[in-house]
Amino acid sequence: MDKSLFEFKGTPLIQCVTECLKSVFTDVAIIANDAEKFRFLGLETTPDLIPGLGPLGGIYTALVHAGKKRIFITGCDMPWLNADLIRHMVSIPDRYDIIVPSVKGQYEPLHAIYSNACLEPVIKAINSGKRKIIVFYENLNVRKVTEEEIINFGDPRKIFRNINYPEDSDI
């Protein structure tokens, strides 16, 4: 079931996410294979360059397509994104290859900033058949955004909570 269009407080999930992102960034785009269903958002939509790779394929496509030094990646199913936390992450010096929240020792790889230095490691992960996002983090300069930092902006359990089923939005 496609969760990107689940209603969250009367608004499609993906619209909640893109509205938050537009409050932080001037350029917001969607990586998805079905551009037509997102036309109502008025945003550029790019299909996966290599279909079937899941989130890792989305990161790959975004890195290739963006052509920028750094990009922020998030999933379409996180309606409680915190714009101030994202701004904080963006303010961290760009000497890091990855800026990613870490909660209870676990990365939040779909709420992270990736530099173009990640492109080759992502390609290597894809070519090796690995699909877990953090596989390509090895040998890169990773800046963890700690729980102590995150708490200044809100409850990490809520900020990073994703919606998998319509009833998940009832918190």
Residue 65 and residue 35: Cα distance in Å, rounded?
Answer: 15
**Element spanning 83, H or E:** helix 83-91
State how beta strands 98-103 and 142-145 pair: parallel
124-141 tens-digit pLDDT: 999 999 999 999 999 999
Using alpha carbons, list the distances in angstroms from residue 82 to 87, 107, 114, 160: 9, 17, 18, 9
Task: Label residue 169 by pLDDT band (50, 70, 90).
Answer: low
> What digits encode the pLDDT tens for the residues 52-97?
999 999 999 999 998 879 999 999 999 999 999 999 999 999 999 9
The architecture CATH gives domain 3-163? Alpha-Beta Complex (3.90)
Mean predicted confidence (pLDDT) in 25-31: 96
* pTM for this prediction: 0.94
Domain boundaries, the chain: 3-163
